[in-house]
Amino acid sequence: MTVFRQQITALEPAPKRRVVDTRDYVRWGVDDQRPQQLLALLANSGTGKVCATTKAKFIEGNGLKDIDFYQALINPRGQTMDALLKLLADRESKLSGHALLINLNLLGNPYSVYHLAAESVRLGIPLDDGTIDYVFQLHPKVPGSKAKAAKPTLHLVFDPREPAEQRAERLASWPGGPEAYPGEVYCSWLDEAGYYPEQVYEPVEVDMETEARLKRSRRTDIKSGYSDKTVITEYGSSSPTLEVMAANALKYGGFVGEDGDRIMLLYADSKDLTPDIKTISAPDASKRYATDGEALKADIRAVFQIPSLLYGEATAGKLGSSQEMEDATLYVQNMVVNTNQRSIERTLTAVFATFQRPDQPDVPLCPSDDYSIENLSLAAVAEVAEESEAQQVLKAINSLSPLVANNVLGAMSQKQKLSLIGLLVDGAPDTSSTTDGNATP
């Protein structure tokens, strides 16, 4: 299989670095919470999460080609390049960018590197020529802690074109000495005039939100066994005032909403004038969930550009021939994730070409100078595309008649039902990479 790669050219001389005299930075979104919102969107959308996870696996591939580099330790925590690559691929698939925190030795060369969660990085105000000299690392409040979030940390941008001697001189003259130097940050999207990338899935943001709501609505129906919903009639006036309706909204608020038991609130002058209520039958509701869910899934998957058979979707009862699998794999590798892989390879080249191990400073971390990623083999792609047990059970239930399907669901435990539709997992964004990023130089 041939995958075309853009050749990495030589770096130009480094421009003269200015003195950072500002504390301002470019906000990411109107409320500066856009990346956190996007991660939560992916976490709560089952289809979006699978798409992003599949894309990350293709970006990571079989790992780095240089085995020694792949297994090398890169910081005192014992993190390897293998673990770092996985984190970089994850953020590339979700936020189209990544960042590294780089600690420098007294010679001005990197000696330890940590993954810095892209959602915690904010770019400094660009210069007139678009150059960015500094970034801010945000420190979110720890969940469950009463302590306030720490103030953002200012980091200079790591420039591989800058001579190590200049970095060493900066460390020596830093207020508080080299020990107080906060480290430098390398970001993958700094080549794009200093602003944050738009995600491929933003055009279907509403679809992903709807899918999450549909799941919660379906969960409510499953928990109640598709029982009739509550109808409450307030007597006295068929045309209540706004104050009355506001008071009732407060009074019945615990029964409504996406996670509550839905009710229908009616108003009538007397019992004789109460309108007739037609209840939606359970089979019709089941069909509607399936129809809406499939439509949303198709729209979300379309923007990720990964063929359905690579998600484990069967066509005419078969996963697809080996040639179809190979064609789909080549398409994803060449047209979908190639740009993300090259971005990571450029980062690894820029940061680790001058990396010096604390115990072996004269031994290069990557002696071969090959920082490229090996693409997934067909066997690995087939493993990625295998259907989960839950997917197989859901397909089997959907193939049954509505009456039989409801009887099957009725015989299942509550835990089995929630697990089946993917609602036992935590809906919060994955913060595993954030821990690795918040390093102390």
Q: Is the pLDDT of residue 5 over 50?
A: no
Residue 70 sits in the same domain as residue 181: yes
Residue 173 sits in the same domain as residue 154: yes
- Domain coverage including residue 303: 205-319+388-420
Answer yes or no: are the C-beta atoms of 41 and 209 closer than 8 Å. yes
Q: Is the pLDDT of residue 286 over 70?
A: no
pTM: 0.71
Residue 175 falls inside a structural domain:
yes
Residue 20 falls inside a structural domain:
no
Residue 256 falls inside a structural domain:
yes
State pLDDT tens for residues 45-54: 989 999 999 9
Residue 161 sits in the same domain as residue 256: no
Tokens of 172: 């020596």
Residue 41 sits in the same domain as residue 97: yes
Distances, alpha carbon 189 to alpha carbons 86, 119, 122, 185, 433, in Å: 18, 13, 11, 12, 18
Torsion on CA atoms 242, 247, 250, 256, rounded to nearest 10: -60
Residue 177 sits in the same domain as residue 272: no
Residue 229 sits in the same domain as residue 186: no
Residue 264 sits in the same domain as residue 281: yes
Distance CA 3, CA 326 (A): 12
Of 233 and 177, the structure prediction assigns the larger pLDDT to 177
Q: Is the pLDDT of residue 156 over 90?
A: yes
Q: Which of 391, 418, 312, 425 is nearest to 42 (CA)?
A: 425
State pLDDT tens for residues 328-370: 888 999 999 999 999 999 999 999 999 999 999 999 999 999 9
pLDDT at 16: 55
Residue 93 sits in the same domain as residue 180: yes
Answer yes or no: are the C-beta atoms of 267 and 234 closer than 8 Å. yes
For the segment 192-216, the average pLDDT, to the nearest whole number, is 84
Q: How many domains does the chain have?
A: 2
Residue 127 sits in the same domain as residue 226: no
Distance CA 347, CA 43 (A): 27
In DSSP terms, 234 is beta-bridged to 267
Distance CA 66, CA 134 (A): 32
Distance CA 54, CA 93 (A): 9
Q: Is the pLDDT of residue 384 over 90?
A: no
